Structure 1
Amino acid sequence: MLVIRDLSIRRGGASGYKVTLPDMTLANGDMVALTGPSGCGKSTLLEVIGAILRPDRLGEYRLGNPPRDIAGPLLAENEVLLADIRARELGFVLQNGGLLPWLSVSHNITLTRRLVGMTAHSAWLETAITQLGVTPLLNKMPAQLSIGERQRVAFVRAIAHQPRLLLADEPTAALDPDNASRLFSLMVEMVRSLDMAAIVVSHDWQRVSDFGLRCYRATTTEGHSVFSPV
């Protein structure tokens, strides 16, 4: 499903902070966590994998089956291809949900499908909406939702177009422990049942451990973080 080798990016110029991922391989249904101290480059690495930031070095990046080459357009900064990759292959869950405040919950969710030419609704999407308890929220506006409701809606929106890879940046950071565990459980269940793959940035090592996720942890030295499986 996902193969990345020899990825490296330096933020802040020649003397800036360097983030390295030597190797990552995920199969369908895999969900892994990026962990490490604040400032070690977890979000930076997620943005490179999300085809937002250009790495300084990238030996291989393939996604899907049959595999689609991501390394070529990413290194070439081919924005036309990268926009298509982000729209079709990737799903993003942000810390604050990132919902568009002028659209209803229903329109927020279906927007990602419309952007890639899919029908607004499908049996698959209805199942996801039901399982995540979003049905009573569909006609509400984002401002009317609790934090936990916004995060559940954001998760449905992120997977509405059935992406191959879900990327989540601290999706439970703003939630109380009960809601955080509930959302994390739903994410794990949906990723595994839908044969997606997922990478989650998390400071919550205990929750990562409780849900049995494989972990890529940052080993930090002066000016450099290396993410390796533990």
Structure 2
Amino acid sequence: MLEVSALSVQRGTPGQGHRVHLPALSLGAGDVVAVTGESGCGKSTLLEALGLLLAPSQLASYRLGGVDVAALLASGAQAELAQLRAQRLGFVLQNGGLLPFLNVAANIRLPRRLLGQPGLGPAAERAIDVLNLAPLLGKLPQALSIGERQRVACARAVAHQPQLLLADEPTAALDPHNAKRLFALLLELACELRLAIVLVSHDWAMVEAFGLPTLQAHSRPGETDFAPLA
């Protein structure tokens, strides 16, 4: 599903900025890995690079579902990369990122609409069931709690049946009970929809409680390496 090796991203100039490095990552369908580390170490930067929102300064290989992403990056094929992001990647932002003028159903449907796909689709329908969103479909985001917005954002992220879901601190604004519930629901969706998930989290205790494999930040002045926790 996902194979990445020797991925580096440089923020700022060498010597004055910060380099984020991922030696290797391999995920199959249904696999979930948590990215952990202190604030400011580069977790979100790593997620943006995996999500093809930041161009790497170094990359040995990147394959997603059989597509040679590294070759597309090397050739500067921006149209193909944009299409890849739209079709194969799903994103869950810290604040949900819902459009305030669309109701819940329209927000969830949006990724499919942008791809010319009709309706909610089977993945979104399953997510609505798992995340208990049916009573909310006609509401606007302003009428939702923070936890409800995050659940809607998760459903929207899988509506177009991506292969890789990237979630940036999806439980950061939630109380412990709802954070645990959303964690569990994300893992259920990964299993049922055969998604690979890279989940950035500051909640180390929650990650440990769910037994998730972990990419732990190892920071030094000017750089951070993300490697499996020993």
Fold conserved between structures, TM > 0.5? yes
**2:6 partner SS:** strand
- Inter-partner Cα distance in structure 1 for 2:180 and 2:67: 33
- Inter-partner Cα distance in structure 2 for 1:86 and 1:197: 15
- Inter-partner Cα distance in structure 2 for 1:175 and 1:44: 22
Q: Once the two structures are superposed, what CA deviation does each residue of 1:29-58 show, in whole Å capped at 9, x if it has no partner?
A: 100011111111100000000000000000
> Are the aligned partners of 1:170 and 1:202 in contact in 2 as well (CA < 8 Å)?
yes
* Structure 2 residue ranges without an equivalent (≥5): none
- Inter-partner Cα distance in structure 2 for 1:176 and 1:76: 45
2:47 matched to which residue of 1? 46
Cα-Cα RMSD:
1.0
- Inter-partner Cα distance in structure 2 for 1:161 and 1:184: 21
1:25 matched to which residue of 2? 26
1:57 matched to which residue of 2? 58
Segment drifting more, 73-82 vs 97-106: 73-82
**2:120 partner SS:** coil
- Inter-partner Cα distance in structure 2 for 1:215 and 1:116: 33
Number of aligned positions between the proteins: 228
> Are the aligned partners of 1:165 and 1:196 in contact in 2 as well (CA < 8 Å)?
yes
1:171 matched to which residue of 2? 170
Please give the residue correspondences for 1:23-102 in structure 2 after superposition, counting only pairs within 5 Å: 23-64=24-65, 67-102=66-101
- Inter-partner Cα distance in structure 2 for 1:160 and 1:135: 15
**1:166 partner SS:** strand
The residue identity in structure 1 corresponding to 2:7 is L
- Inter-partner Cα distance in structure 2 for 1:143 and 1:72: 42
Q: Percent identity?
A: 54
TM-score (norm 2): 0.96
Cα distance, 1:209 vs structure 2: 0.8
Structure 2 residue 125 is the aligned partner of structure 1 residue 150: no
Cα distance, 1:19 vs structure 2: 0.6
The residue identity in structure 2 corresponding to 1:34 is V
Cα distance, 1:192 vs structure 2: 1.4
Please give the residue correspondences for 1:77-226 in structure 2 after superposition, counting only pairs within 5 Å: 77-226=76-225
TM-score (norm 1): 0.96
* Structure 1 residue ranges without an equivalent (≥5): none
